[in-house]
Structure 1
């Protein structure tokens, strides 16, 4: 059990992650889908993970099948892409890699590759990062927009809880393994500790691959990170008719769906991904913005676009909070 004492400064700075972290999600998924009970809840993903097992074997050997993972493998930065997340991991100081892996491997049998990774051997770290990249591409990429919508729908639902019930209501309803007894947050996690917030707040991450228990990361000089389990938003049964395309038009629907994918979505990037001219992408974005489905802002020489809550719910196929996200 972790007890986390939150002071006024922490309670004033509670926020949610803006979107799923590609590398962090891949690391957690690679562990969670090794648990037969958890894998049975996500059979399609589990089947893809099994099909990718040969090319991602380094993940299974170098990371434990359950429980604690080294914090440096779930970084705060590098959220924009798999490559950015991997670069963030590569920038981890050698001393931290050694310290965290020594603790992680305490109850695992030693091996040459584990010893080399504890020593921050660049060759073995490269092997692990290549396996992470392949795992994302082969297992998660086909459902990344679905995972993004799960995250955003859950955050929007919790935001409404906060608006109605304040901090007490938000923290009381996160997950059955999380209990709010002001000013203490009790978390039934994989390890035990008595912690205090550092005034940097609490960063909440709804994680379909968190596993059976919430996960807590307490970095120096940053907010406490709390990843807690939620269920993946399930898609409605597919039909030969695309209702979103009927509503918006095929190209406009494609632009909206592209905005649920990971990355920074500029007008130029949208035109490339959807296969239209830049001027056409700009016109479609303007129409979606006028309908309240996306927001945009100028950043340097580019215009960047993202989904609004209404756009998230339209893509999710239901304007109500999906009950499957409340687990």
Structure 2
């Protein structure tokens, strides 16, 4: 069976789409203007391709179980679990009994609209749309359907969930108070340098946990691994997570203090797991009156502090992709950029601490 990976195009006279199935190529047309004609041509192509599919295609719930098994086998647990949860809570109740070769864009759009009406954030809606597209792609690869979702939209009113960041007064406390509470007593916080380093670099919590002294070369740091909440070591969240950058003078000072306190072999911060790390961070915030925020929001704090720097410089530091509204895909690092960025980051933090 062929599968449609393209869409109809306007030739100046009509819409045309070329598809192929079992070595046979065929073209379909529509003379109707606008998107109505495009959809009509695509529908004709889909109908022809569907002839190569079994008359009784499986139900979405059954095909979804096979797709989720593949997701579980090919990705980490922290990706599979939320994917399975979204599938179980939003997709199966809506279209679980439908045949995979009978799905329409409106069927999928209504799932996104329902989640939006229930108050889910823009991020959740985008993840749902990505799940639906990935499932449909699996069905095409498995010869279960030729359907290609084309017009899934995130409602314009959807908003990202608000984040809490450390304010300047919080940063002054963080960089001047080393103590926390433990069993009712005031003690040195074993992870104080990890908190500070995370704020100064924008590293993800898992990247801080996975950082080894072997990754540090003078003032350069190579981020090549991450440890997730399940204790699994990965290459990071995505392909952009593997990166190298030059540390600011403040970040280098924090590493010097950590080296003096814990040595320079193995794990830099010696964090046992993310749950323990987060628990100690919450205790530190409560003991010293800092604005409560999550470990991941320390990354948001970093970006907020350095937001006056060029977007491309920030992108390279935090490992964001081009579609994160920073650098385009054709931006490249020039000689001296790393040192310039490190100096700029250092200056911004010094100014914030001075003015607080």
Give the TM-score band, short-chain normalised: under 0.3
Q: Which has the higher strand share?
A: 1
- TM-score, with structure 1 as normaliser: 0.27
- TM-score, with structure 2 as normaliser: 0.25
